[in-house]
Amino acid sequence: MATLDDIAPLRDQALAAVDAADTLDALEAARVAHVGRKSPLAEILSGIGRLEPAERGPVGKTANEARKAVEAALTARKDALEADAMGAALAADDTDITLPGDPHPAGAVHLLTQVRWELEDIFLAMGYRIADGPEVEDEYHNFTALNVAEGHPARSPSDTFYVRGRDGVALRPQTSPVQIRAMEEARPPLYVISPGVVYRRDDVDATHSPMFHQLEGLAVDEGLSLAHLKGTLVHVARELLGDDVEYALRPHFFPFTEPSVELYVRWVDKRGRSLWLELLGAGMVDPDVFGFVGYDAERYTGFAFGMGLDRIAMVRHGLPDLRLLLEGDVRFLEQFA
């Protein structure tokens, strides 16, 4: 029979074994041997009922204290061995966890979007709203209702991308069809702009791309004249390029406006050369176009304009090549972030 005096040596052996264990496996073996179910200490605890009643209390208390001391030592030793294992793994790994991580670069708004937003702000401030229209458009809205004659070169498949098997349906070559859709949906007075992508069968070079961006505008009201058109365009040119921008309106021809004009601005390029650049096309809406949408051409007049956003970005930033805007090279784009 175990006596009170057996317990202290058992405890000390157990603590020594825990102390000596230098791996987690060795520690587990020490736990099984010294406080496991078949260990001497466990046997003492389970045999307490068979002791003299007077011994039960002191033996139980001392054995329990011994077991607790050993278990505490086991836990402490386990933590220490695990920490050592982690330290060793870290030491073996030459990753420097104190270095800062790879920064996540923040994105930025594309230059063309910046130009579009700027123009939208200019027009919204004048009371225009933004209208939208499809990029895949039917022949009626692309050409017919814009007064583009049968046989006009713009209708030719060598100028415009037609959708195979869909009679007359094409990628819109200009944003002007949105004018027709806006007038079909609303009655005057009407002040709308419509920015968007357009497509033409051009070969890619420094100033041409088969896909580019325009911003269309349309105003229809009672009493609008060429003076209102000019005032609007000059205001926009000044907002975009500065109050002292030199400009000229030159006569031109568009099927959907009469008279038609182009707005030119004087621009000094990066090499100091002074150039006249066409910024946009415009004109007074042709009464024939009003006929297609059922507007009373006796009562209402209107003006319209269309500008190239890519061209405006190039002029403003002195870009040598249109392709820079579309290639997505971050080294180019981040200069305008």
Q: Which stretch binds ligand DAH (CB under 6 A): 62-70, 107-115, 271-279, 304-312?
A: 304-312
Of 17, 233, 282, 314, the residue at the interface with ligand DAH (CB under 6 A) is 282
Of 39, 142, 147, 174, the residue at the interface with ligand DAH (CB under 6 A) is 174
Q: Is 257 in the site for ligand DAH (CB under 6 A)?
A: yes
Q: Which stretch binds ligand DAH (CB under 6 A): 69-77, 183-191, 203-211, 300-308?
A: 300-308
Cβ neighbours of residue 241 closer than 8 Å, sequence gap 6 or more:
265, 267, 315, 316
Cβ neighbours of residue 256 closer than 8 Å, sequence gap 6 or more:
146, 147, 148, 176, 179, 283, 285, 286, 289, 304
Nearest distance in Å: CB 262, ligand DAH: 8
Helix/strand/coil for 332: helix
Q: Is 304 in the site for ligand DAH (CB under 6 A)?
A: yes
Of 133, 177, 196, 281, the residue at the interface with ligand DAH (CB under 6 A) is 281
Q: Which is nearer to ligand DAH, 292 or 305 (CB)?
A: 305
Nearest distance in Å: CB 308, ligand DAH: 8
Q: Is 305 in the site for ligand DAH (CB under 6 A)?
A: yes
Q: Which is nearer to ligand DAH, 70 or 304 (CB)?
A: 304
The size of the chain, in residues, is 337
Q: Which is nearer to ligand DAH, 71 or 288 (CB)?
A: 288
Is residue 267 within 8 Å of 274, Cβ to Cβ?
A: yes
Sheet holding 301-308, edge to edge: 129-130, 190-199, 211-221, 301-308, 274-285, 257-268, 247-254
Q: Which is nearer to ligand DAH, 39 or 174 (CB)?
A: 174
Distance separating alpha carbons of residues 71 and 14, to the nearest angstrom:
10
Q: Which amino acid is at 93?
A: D
Of 216, 236, 279, 310, the residue at the interface with ligand DAH (CB under 6 A) is 216
Q: Is 254 in the site for ligand DAH (CB under 6 A)?
A: yes
Q: Which stretch binds ligand DAH (CB under 6 A): 93-101, 183-191, 236-244, 277-285?
A: 277-285
Give pairs for 41-49: CB < 8 Å, separation 24+: 41/7, 41/10, 41/11, 41/14, 41/66, 41/67, 41/70, 42/67, 43/2, 44/2, 44/6, 44/7, 44/10, 47/1, 47/2
Q: Is 283 in the site for ligand DAH (CB under 6 A)?
A: yes
Nearest distance in Å: CB 271, ligand DAH: 27
The footprint of ligand DAH on this chain (CB under 6 A) covers a number of residues equal to 12
Q: For residue 110, give both structure tokens.
A: 């594309």
* Sign of the dihedral defined by the CA atoms of residues 241, 244, 246, 247, in that order: positive
Of 306, 313, 315, 324, the residue at the interface with ligand DAH (CB under 6 A) is 306
By CB under 6 A, the residues from 111 to 170 that bind ligand DAH are none
Distance separating alpha carbons of residues 325 and 333, to the nearest angstrom:
8
| DSSP assignment letter at 150 | T
Nearest distance in Å: CB 197, ligand DAH: 12
Which residues contribute to the site for ligand DAH (CB under 6 A)? 174, 176, 216, 254, 256-257, 281-283, 304-306
